[in-house]
């Protein structure tokens, strides 16, 4: 039973320390992973690092402190409006304001500002789901009053993301929402229904879209086209294998310039494994595990259901995305091109994850 009164205390400094380690580690490794490519493309070795700081870290610090000090009652009040804005942004990527790259409409330009709406939606959907699930806490055993509305809300967000296409992001968001729904007290049969429908939909998408089918085929047959469809995963495995126990040394990767596609983004864990070896890779993985564990600990001690669900949603997205990135780059999962939280290049993602972390720290103070 939760306490009726909320007592303020100090923030969770262990969580803040783990967050700081991830952010600093990310900036350091981004510098190494991107420097050669940035020098070749722009004549500036620190081009990607500078952009990460200006468009990711600085807005993220603002978002972090906003999350730390803004009363959670305000997040509840604005959650529906933020979700509406998020869905509108998702739809706007298909307009002339949208920006296409790598065959996907995932970016949006408004004036001089460019960002990925799907990253923003990760934040606002979790906040809204926490609000909606906590408000309807006594109805989650009902299919009509809970499961069906939950499914409709989720589809309003997931379908535009799938159409971008950004299937892995849609799967991550769906997974985090389902975990929140389970914690809120969902009927297991209803939850199983949503999971089955989701898996069937994913299977149909893979079957009818060649590039999705090719990704699964390449995962099952990694040596089928080493100079084409399976080139990136094979180069990633070569980079990881080259690192050995201690790595070849910081900044000394030989694959990041000429061989490994997207070394500062989709493949950054391979660069980390090559330069820092098994020891450095294990350090990063353990840090992520501790980050998620600490988040779960904060969720268990949260003062109310909204806070508990919000923290669970945030750490689920971050933890699952880290798992998928590392698993894909290591050949344990189909290659997805999903970035590594706090580490990969991407200003929108870094700002969003820091804002999530700020809200978690706020809740840890209660």
User: What pLDDT digit, counting tens, does each position of 15-56 carry?
Assistant: 999 999 999 999 999 999 999 899 988 999 999 999 999 999
Asked if residue 130 is part of any domain, the answer here is: yes
Asked if residue 135 is part of any domain, the answer here is: yes
Asked if residue 4 is part of any domain, the answer here is: no
Q: The domain containing residue 156 runs over which residues?
A: 13-364
Asked if residue 357 is part of any domain, the answer here is: yes
Asked if residue 279 is part of any domain, the answer here is: yes
Asked if residue 169 is part of any domain, the answer here is: yes
**pLDDT number for residue 8:** 65
Q: In the chain, how many domains are there?
A: 1
- Residue range 300-327, pLDDT digits in tens: 999 999 999 999 999 999 999 999 999 9
- Residue range 170-215, pLDDT digits in tens: 999 999 999 999 999 888 888 898 899 889 988 888 888 877 777 7
pLDDT at 269 over 70: yes
**120 within 8 A of 110, measured Cβ to Cβ:** no
pLDDT at 9 over 80: no
Asked if residue 337 is part of any domain, the answer here is: yes
* Dist CA 321 CA 104 (whole Å): 19
pTM equals 0.93
Asked if residue 320 is part of any domain, the answer here is: yes
């Amino acid at each position: 039973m939760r306490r009726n009164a909320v007592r303020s205390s100090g923030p969770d400094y262990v969580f803040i320390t783990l967050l700081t380690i991830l952010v600093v580690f990310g900036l350091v490794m981004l510098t190494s992973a991107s420097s050669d490519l940035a020098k070749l493309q722009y004549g500036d070795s620190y081009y990607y690092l500078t952009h990460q700081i200006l468009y990711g870290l600085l807005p993220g610090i603002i978002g972090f402190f906003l999350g730390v000090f803004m009363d959670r009652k305000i997040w509840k009040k604005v959650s529906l409006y933020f979700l509406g804005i998020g869905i509108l942004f998702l739809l706007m990527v298909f307009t002339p304001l949208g920006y296409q790259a790598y065959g996907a409409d995932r970016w949006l330009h408004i004036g001089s500002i460019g960002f990925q709406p799907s990253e923003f939606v990760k934040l606002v959907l979790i906040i809204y789901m926490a609000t909606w699930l906590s408000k309807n806490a006594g109805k989650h055993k009902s299919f009509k009053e809970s499961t069906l509305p939950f499914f409709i809300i989720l589809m309003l967000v997931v379908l535009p993301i799938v159409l971008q296409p950004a299937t892995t992001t849609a799967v991550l968001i769906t997974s985090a929402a389902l975990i929140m729904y389970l914690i809120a007290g969902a009927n297991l049969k209803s939850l199983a229904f949503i999971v089955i429908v989701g898996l069937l939909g994913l299977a149909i998408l893979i079957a009818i879209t060649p590039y999705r089918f090719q990704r699964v085929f390449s995962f099952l047959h990694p040596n089928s086209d080493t100079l084409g469809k399976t080139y990136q995963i094979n180069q990633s495995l070569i980079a990881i294998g080259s690192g050995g126990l201690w790595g070849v040394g910081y900044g000394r990767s030989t694959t990041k310039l000429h061989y490994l596609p997207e070394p500062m983004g989709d493949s950054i864990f391979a660069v980390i494994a090559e330069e820092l070896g098994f020891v450095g890779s294990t350090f990063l993985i353990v840090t992520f595990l501790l980050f998620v564990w600490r988040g779960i600990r904060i969720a268990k001690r949260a003062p109310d259901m909204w806070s508990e669900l919000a923290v669970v949603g945030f750490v689920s997205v971050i933890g699952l995305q880290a798992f998928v990135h590392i698993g894909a780059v290591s050949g344990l999962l189909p290659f997805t091109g999903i970035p590594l939280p706090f580490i990969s290049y991407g200003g929108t993602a870094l700002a969003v994850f820091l804002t999530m972390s700020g809200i978690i720290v706020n809740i840890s103070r209660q």
